Structures are given as structure tokens and as C-alpha cells.
Amino acid sequence: MADIHADIEALKEFADALGRYRHAQREVAEQGDYQVAATRASLEDKASQWRSLLARRKAELADCQRAAAMDTEGAGHGGCHAEAAAVREAEERLDSVRRWQQLVEEGASAFLGPSSRFRSVLDVDLPRTEQHLLAIIGGLEAARGVRGARP
């Protein structure tokens, strides 16, 4: 048998630490997934709000333009510059939200690979590692027990 230079209690502490690591990192992974979902929902909500606002502002601009057209003498209507600017603002902000939605989708897609690999590490590899370490500890305890029994 190979020489054994191990403090079994230290290895047991490390095995326990691996178990805690697995659970805690799973929470980290879940928190990460939750934040991706929350940001997607938040951006979709913002896009929806800007779409509604854009529609309302376009209607206000159209009303203004109709009123301006009916003011044939051109004396009493101040123009529709403010309404047109409000429409442009809503269009720009909706475009910006859509661009960020696209960027977030690309980022989430790039994150998917490392995320699923890490999930596999936590769900499959790490439990095996813990089992392997416990088997080593069991072997060390058995070897120590045999040696201890020798005269």
C-alpha cells in the first residue's frame, strides 16, 4: 500500500465544504438565471410602455395636424413642433429599448453554454467528486484501522 499522509478529519471538513459549495453555487446560478429573466421582463415592459406612448403621441400629432389644417387663416394655431418632438422621442426610446433587448438576448445566449456546463458540474461532477473523496476517506479509515490493529 502507498504511504498515507493525510489528516482524515481535515479531509472530512473539506468534503463537507464541497457539499456546502455545491448548494451555495446552485443558489448563485439560480439567482443569475432569475436576473436574466427579470431583465427580459423589465425590457419587455418598457418596450410595451413606449409602444403605447408612441401610439398616443402619434394620435396627438395627427389631431394637431388636423387642427392646423382646419385653421385656414393660419392665425390661431401655433404649429405641431412639440407633438412632433414627442413622437420622435418615443420612437428613439422604443428603438433604444429594442436594441437593448437584442443585446440582452445575445448575452443570454452566450451565457447559456457556461451556465449549463456549470449546472452539470454542480449536479453531476461535484456529487461524484464528493463521493470519490468520501471513498478515499473510507479507505484511509480502513487502512488506519488495519494498521492500528497490527502489533
Partner 1 sequence: MTGRPHEDGELLLREIGAAWSKAQQDWHDDLSSQFDRAHWAPLAGESRSYLRALGECMELLAAAERETGY
Binding site for partner 1 (CB under 8 A): 2-7, 10-11, 13-14, 17-18, 21, 24-25, 27-29, 31-32, 35-36, 39, 42-43, 46, 93, 96-97, 100-101, 103-104, 107-108, 110-111, 113-115, 117-118, 121, 125-126, 129, 132-133, 136
Ramachandran quadrant class, 87 (left: phi over 0; alpha: psi -120 to 50; beta: rest): alpha
Nearer Cβ to partner 1, position 46 or 77? Answer: 46
Q: Closest approach of Cβ 53 to partner 1, in Å?
A: 10
C-alpha cell at 138: 473510507
Name which of 17 and 82 has its Cβ closer to partner 1: 17
Nearest approach in angstroms of CB 67 to partner 1 is 28
Q: Please state the closest distance from residue 138 (CB atom) to partner 1, in A.
A: 12
Nearer to partner 1, 41 or 67 (CB): 41
- In angstroms, give the least distance from the CB of 73 to partner 1: 39
Q: Are 83 and 61 in contact (CB under 8 A)?
A: yes
Helix axes 81-120, 8-70, angle to 10 degrees: 160
- Choice between 63 and 125, CB closer to partner 1: 125
Closest CA to 66 of 56, 55, 80, 76: 80
Task: Output the smallest distance, CB 28 to partner 1, in A.
Answer: 4
Q: How far apart are CA 98 and CA 106, in angstroms?
A: 12
Q: Which is nearer to partner 1, 4 or 67 (CB)?
A: 4
- Whether residue 84 contacts residue 121, with contact meaning beta carbons closer than 8 Å, is answered with no
Cα(108)–Cα(128) distance, rounded to whole angstroms?
A: 29
Q: Cβ distance 117 to 102 under 8 Å?
A: no
